Amino acid sequence: MINVKQLLAAAAVAVLSATACSGPDTLVEENIANAKVQLGALLTASEQGDTLRIPSTYKDGQVRFVPIDDWVSGFFAGSLWYMYELTGDEMWAEHARAHTEKLDSIQYLTWHHDVGFMVYDSYGNGLRLKGNDPYKKVIIQTAKSLSTRYREKAGVLQSWSVDRGWQSKRGWQCPVIIDNMMNLELLFQATKMSGDSTFFHIAVSHADRTLENHFREDGSCYHVVDYDPETGAVRGRCTAQGYSDESAWARGQAWALYGYARAYDYTGYPRYLDQAEKVARYILGRLPEDLVPYWDYDCPDIPDTYRDASSAAITASALYDLYAKTGKSLYREKADGMLETLSSPAFRAEQGTNGGFILMHSVGSLPHGSGIDVPLNYADYYFLEALIRRRNLK
């Protein structure tokens, strides 16, 4: 386990200089310089001639790659787009385009719900930054594919199929995970692009049912809610990636916060902003002093267990979003603090290490024994996004 306190003390001077000075934001600038080196190395490892591979993590001294139907396949392309946004260097856009277009066939994928992550992070950013019109068709087709998972009676998008993998062994009928809130942005955008309001209505229904059924009194949420697809009734609430059914899995709380903040953006419905703020209150009340959560807020082994840098990066990015919407300085202060800790040697890898990933110490799924205390491509993606959001606020 890392000694975060010691490492943070060593980094304190750098952090203070980053926050105290006016003019260029040294924390952001210094992170851009670092990311150029790290992601440059990862890019080299990922590209051999015309063969493009998708890096997901670094384990036992090797960069690991995933196939395009893996839920994390869009994050590397997305990170390359963010590097383009942060640097203005066309080199990043060229590689981002190639890695995005490698994902072309995902627009027809219907066997899981994560296509929102996969296509919005890649094609969505490409469209936003380069106005590449053909990308709209991909986003709209993806929205159609995702909509095939809508279960009318329950009013939700089914997250996982139950006819395959470990999910088939849990007795679920229509499992919905809180992560699914992250797929809604693609639906909202598809309505804007196509004029077809079906996607908007599905997204709103899903967000409303999730609001109704996923949350506890204290603002925390369950990971999985299983519905009866015939009657729409809730069959059960439990976890898949958290410590226990009643615990608060850290990344799940981050997805909830981020997802409701975005849903508010597209709808203007105050109930979504309220929910995002409730989740934010819960998270801010549970964070350790250095603001990087343990992998589950209720893990009884805290402080002798793993941190999850990915949760911190997602939460920081969402808190900037919430600050932009509410003007409440607490959100911005906490997001700044998270970025400062993530930028310290406790969490940010030394250049030339970590396989080229920026952040160390994330947790994929502890109960499944996968991706424990490793770099993860989505931790880097949301870290870069948080830097952009911080820079845009200034």
Work out whether 251 is an interface residue with ligand GLY (CB under 6 A): yes
- Dihedral pair phi/psi, residue 32, rounded to 5°: -65, -45
Burial category of 84 from C-beta neighbours within 10 Å (exposed 0-12, middle 13-18, buried 19 and up): buried
Could you tell me the smallest distance in angstroms from the CB atom of residue 38 to ligand GLY? 22
Is 179 a residue of the active site? yes
Q: Which of 25, 121, 179, 321 is catalytic?
A: 179
- Kindly tell me which of 132 and 365 has the beta carbon lying closer to ligand GLY: 365
Could you tell me the smallest distance in angstroms from the CB atom of residue 241 to ligand GLY? 6
What region does 376 belong to: left with phi over 0, alpha with psi -120 to 50, or beta? beta
Selected binder of ligand GLY within 85, 121, 179, 385 (CB under 6 A): 179
Q: Could you tell me if 330 and 281 are in contact, meaning their C-beta atoms sit under 8 angstroms apart?
A: no
Is 114 a residue of the active site? yes
User: What is the spatial distance between Cα 320 and Cα 29, in angstroms, rounded to a whole number?
Assistant: 18
Closest residue to bound ligand GLY by CB: 179
State the amino acid at position 221 in one-letter form. C
Q: Is the peptide bond before 303 cis (omega within 30 degrees of 0)?
A: yes
The set of residues, in sequence order, having a beta carbon less than 8 Å from that of 350 and lying 6+ positions away, is: none
Work out whether 97 is an interface residue with ligand GLY (CB under 6 A): no
Work out whether 373 is an interface residue with ligand GLY (CB under 6 A): no
Could you tell me the smallest distance in angstroms from the CB atom of residue 2 to ligand GLY? 21
Could you tell me the smallest distance in angstroms from the CB atom of residue 179 to ligand GLY? 4
Q: Which of 114, 226, 321, 373 is catalytic?
A: 114
User: Which H helix or E strand runs over 53?
Assistant: none
User: What is the spatial distance between Cα 389 and Cα 322, in angstroms, rounded to a whole number?
Assistant: 11
- Residues numbered 188-247 forming contacts with ligand GLY, rule: CB under 6 A: 241
Q: Of 78, 84, 83, 88, which Cα lies nearest the Cα of 55?
A: 78
- Kindly tell me which of 41 and 386 has the beta carbon lying closer to ligand GLY: 386
Binding site for ligand GLY (CB under 6 A): 71, 179, 241, 251, 364-365
Instruction: List, by residue number, the catalytic residues.
Output: 114, 179
